[in-house]
Amino acid sequence: MSAEPDPGLLQGFSCVARRDARALILGSMPGQASLDQDQYYAHPRNAFWYIMGRLFDAGPDRPYPQRLEILQQRGVALWDVVHRCIRKGSLDADIEHDSVEPNDLQGLFLRCPNIRHVFFNGRKAADLYRRMIEPTLDPPGPIHYQTLPSTSPAHAGLDRDAKLRHWSDVKTVLAD
């Protein structure tokens, strides 16, 4: 008799990136609302698409595929640090660290050699990256890292306009 798969085992999404991407936004692992809808940042109170709307005209008023296309046209790639993990619930704090299988970020940097900026959507993504990815990473060029406030509704310390002020750095680096 084979073992039943763990019901808390979750798998994230594929990377959204064109070869000419210059900035990468890395989350930790999609929340349950995102997994249910098969869309990055799908929770209605997540500020991500509000912010992308203000920065790049890729807001929640547009169809999801169009938002992704706009970001890619502007040089933005989206992905998560975690490819697969066990998480009971939807919060980053619920991720079982021993279960984490990271995404192939080395491969992404080789496929998209112009990425020079990595923006972490929250501290958890940055922590996981530094612990699981950075020690074995050999990027094709220098990369600048910046941790931004999480757009998650669980990060209620800042309202979405305060988050937008921090996140405007993404647009600034792409303007250079």
Contact 144, 114 (CB under 8 A): no
* Catalytic residue ranges: 46
Sign of the Cα pseudo-torsion (97, 98, 99, 101, in order): positive
* Tokens standing for residue 143: 């990369």
